[in-house]
Amino acid sequence: MCRAPKAPAPGAGRSPQGRPGGGTVGVREDGRVTAHASPPADRPLPDAALLAELGAIAEDLARQAGALVREGRPRRVDVAATKTSPIDVVTAMDLASESLLRRLLAERRPGDGILGEEEGLDRGGSGVTWVIDPIDGTVNYLYGIPAYAVSVAAVVGPPRPTEWTVVAGCVHSVADGRTWTATLGGGAYEDGRRVRVNPPAPLAESLLATGFGYTTERRRAQARVLVDVLPRVRDIRRIGSAAIDLCLVASGEVDLFYERGLQAWDQAAGTLVAAEAGATVVGLRGAPPSEAMTVAGPEPTVRELVALLEELRADTDDVAAGGAEGHPSG
């Protein structure tokens, strides 16, 4: 069953992705994230029973695919294909994991759509679409670095740029088994334990996680931004999986996260986990999280980081963009 969303309680103003005033994550048919406005107030959202079902399926599928990835990893992993650049790699296990997820979803929810990193969009007729990343952190998997995850999210609404809301998600860290889950309005959990973001701290006392793209132009621009961000924060971590990064924000193991270039499958489950743990999850210049930029963390500190990133024009690939000479440092 689905129900129309209730009017927000007094003082409530956060969207499903944690953006004050509304805004959700949308996606084009090629899977690229787009920013857009809030869903219509009369859009039906899942009732409690369906939310619980979707959440349970997301966790079960993420764990099953994680077991395949963990147990099937050879001593030497070979690259099966590349995407946006020679260093943006796909392994045989990426393909096998997504194939398993699609088969399981076809058995459990045959009317639903599926958007996967490797095979794209298959439309469904139920109004629910599954957004899946079979291995988030493929380069870590390739090298045997234990920081990669299976990410599974359920969204409602047509799979078009202005249309969906993430309602359930699971991020399963394959190497250590840590598993984060969330449902819309139901909170965020790590292995069954409720998690919350850290209390707000000044930007200068905050630990940031971030990631980098795969093209030369994108990396040059991200390096330019990093030069100005690093002196203004406690430190920066580059873990190599955006899904895990967002969950570490939720668990309070980093304070903030920002990254340019995330696709729908990279962040659908993770943004819900972070938001349900109390994070504000936004883009820049009033936009929701998108391919242009995703920022997550406690709301006051996010405001401070967003102001710096906007000043640095971190949502562009312009290596000549202005610096932040006038911005106070730590």
Q: What is the pLDDT of residues 46-62, one digit of tens each?
A: 999 999 999 999 999 99
pLDDT of residue 158: 72
What confidence category does residue 44 fall into, taking pLDDT thresholds of 50, 70 and 90? confident
Residue ranges matching CATH 3.40.190.80 in the chain: 203-311
pTM of the entire predicted model? 0.85
Which of 100-104, 243-247, 316-320 has the lowest average pLDDT? 316-320
CB 34 within 8 A of CB 161: yes
Task: Tell how many helices (H) and how many strands (E) occur in the chain.
Answer: 7, 19
CATH of 203-311, one of 3.40.640.10, 3.40.190.80, 3.40.920.10, 3.40.50.300: 3.40.190.80
CB 27 within 8 A of CB 159: yes
- The alpha carbon torsion through 215, 220, 221, 226 (nearest 10 deg) reads 120
In degrees rounded to 5, what are phi and psi of residue 53? -65, -45
Q: What is the pLDDT of residues 216-239, one digit of tens each?
A: 999 999 999 999 999 999 999 999
Give the residue-averaged pLDDT of 168-192. 98
DSSP state of 203: G
CATH number of 18-194: 3.30.540.10
Q: What is the pLDDT of residues 253-276, one digit of tens each?
A: 999 999 999 999 999 999 999 999
Whole-number Å distance between alpha carbons of 67 and 179: 12
Output the average pLDDT for the chain: 86
What confidence category does residue 87 fall into, taking pLDDT thresholds of 50, 70 and 90? confident
Whole-number Å distance between alpha carbons of 175 and 298: 28
Residue 76 has pLDDT above 90, yes or no: no
Residue 100 has pLDDT above 60, yes or no: yes
- The alpha carbon torsion through 14, 17, 21, 26 (nearest 10 deg) reads -160
pLDDT of residue 14: 38
Residue ranges matching CATH 3.30.540.10 in the chain: 18-194
Here the tokens at position 229 are 């961000």
63 contact partners, CB below 8 Å, separation of at least 6: 150, 170, 172, 179
4 contact partners, CB below 8 Å, separation of at least 6: 41, 42, 43, 44, 45
Whole-number Å distance between alpha carbons of 38 and 110: 28
pLDDT of residue 186: 97
